[in-house]
Each structure stands twice: as structure tokens, then as C-alpha cells.
Amino acid sequence: MTTHPTIEHHPDVAEMRARFEQATSTPRGQALEALAFLTGVYLAASPWIAGFSGLTALAVCNLILGAAYALCMGGLGSAYERTHAMAWCAVAIGAFTIISPWLVAGNVDTTRSVWNNVIVGVVALLLGAAMAATGERRAGATRARRGRRVPTA
């Protein structure tokens, strides 16, 4: 009876894990993760901080989006190679945060709630994109060092 090694023992997988670990262990990666986590916490608490908690639908929406964003971006440091795709989820959460004052039920698009969600949404979107690009940039550099052709966008 023969046993076959699992995909986890493949050299490319080990290299990928090391590369993503290196990406998040840099000061830039750690700063992005910390700022993104704080952005998620602020988004969750923003209805009470900015003073539009009376708009219940948007307050609940921001609470859920903020918790989801903090969980997505907070988990990146512990297992980045497995949760890299979550950075793209964080980009989607940021984009939805921007447009949510006009999408949730009820009249919740007050000046305060719109400005809060647009600013926090843009910050969330940019931090998610920056974290996603961190791993992509390292992956491209590794492919170039190996002599493989690096695809262009």
C-alpha cells in the first residue's frame, strides 16, 4: 500500500505560505492590519459615535458590516495565506458601506450618516485593497525571480 503526499507538502504551497507570512510580518503589513481592524471597530460603533443611532436600519447595517470587516481583516495576521481572499471581501464591504445609506430601508440618508459611511467606506475599501495587493506584489516578485513570466494587468 502506497501513500501519496498531500498538497500541503508541495514545495510551492510551502513557499506561498512563507511569502504571505513575510508580507504580513513587515511593519507595513502590520500597520495595514491594525488600521483595518480599527476601521471595522469604528464602523460597527459609528452610529453611536457619530450620532445617528436613531436610524435603526442603518445602525444595524453598520454594526453588522463593521463586525464583518473587523473579523475579515483581523484574521489576516494569524493565517494570511488562507485568508488572503478575505481582503477582497473587505473591499466589497467597504464599497457597500459607501452606498448603504441609500440602500437600506427607510429615510436614513441624513448628512451625518452619508458623510460617515462614505468616509469610512472609502478608508475600508482602500485598506482592503492595500492588504490584498500586499500579497499580490510579493507573489509577482517571486514569479519574476524564478524566471516565470509575470502577467500584466
Of all helices (H) and strands (E), which one includes residue 80?
A: helix 80-103
pLDDT per residue as tens digits for the range 39-76: 999 999 999 998 887 878 899 999 999 999 998 887 65
Q: How far apart are CA 65 and CA 70, in angstroms?
A: 9
Whole-model pTM above 0.85?
A: no
Residue with cell 481572499: 85
pLDDT, tens digit (0-9, with 9 covering 90-100), for 77-105: 555 555 567 788 889 999 999 999 888 87
